[in-house]
Structure 1
Amino acid sequence: MTPEGPDFTAGLPRKRMGAGLLVTDSAGRVLLVEPAYKTTWEIPGGCVEADESPHRTAARECREELGLTIEPGRLLVVDWVSPQHGRTEGVMFVYDGGRLTPSQTDGIVLPPAELRSWSWCDRREADGRLVPVLARRVAEALAARDESGTRYLEDGFRVS
């Protein structure tokens, strides 16, 4: 309840949100993780929880999934994902996770119940491991990082 009366926003539609990090090595390869609960690979990240910002989600998920403390950098991509295959629509955020040093890479610790493995992947390898919408999102995030910009996507396709 607000001082003006009931919170009118409580009844508005809600969207599923996710946030992740684009993490690379010195060769420009992307860090991908292999979830234990599905057959496709992902970038480090996950679901935005209630009352949590996407930025905080990206940092939290990195700690939980990789055992690394990485402060998310600049927002690279916002991707609206249409509803499909029993999933609601969503908004996905990708932040710059920087480039890991070899010593940081040596510090990666996976939670075995959540992740099977991780890998550095070049663009071709990433395209082969990621679902198409995420492959497009990662490619756009890499381009946004190179151009010091931010991109808005819909289903992984650049709109602006």
Structure 2
Amino acid sequence: MKSRPLQILLALALLVMTLALAYPMYVDYREREISAEIVERYREIESRIRAHLDDAGESADCAALSAMVDGRALQFDGVTVDIGFAPVELGARRGYRPVFVVCGATGQGHALDVARYAHRHFAAINRIEAGPVVRDSVVGFAAPLSAPDHIACFVPSPELPRLCGRTYPPTKGEDAG
């Protein structure tokens, strides 16, 4: 009779140790999965915007391009994902082109780790714009949604995209990361 409670206690201890080892692997797997979803969503949005630009050409208002993307498509587990517009100068012509902005910071659940994995994915496919912010407490970067030498719209968006609270592209006095 005395061995029965000991066996139950031993089985329970083994179960707890197994869960303690498996949980971090599950969290890492989930973070990688979410970052892969971000890359997949980027590719969907990029193809939609590039097709629109091929058909319609330059647009007067940048808000029309933003309206093409449903806000629900930009919601991920604590990671801020947004469509912004980066300035483009082609000689005397000035306009804007769309960019996909990703930001993850500490204090937002697993957002920092997800953003780090997403940053690695985007770097592997060579899709990171100049001026990424990669620090211990924050990861923010932008990826192009159109060619870098293509003006997509002329009337600026009310705000330039933000990389975790910083203007993109970085101003001259601002540290780019």
TM-score normalized by the length of structure 2: 0.31
Q: Which has the larger radius of gyration?
A: 2
Larger % of helix: which? 2
Larger % of strand: which? 1
Query: Looking at both structures, which has the greater relative contact order when contacts are Cα pairs under 8 Å and sequence separation is at least 6?
Result: 1
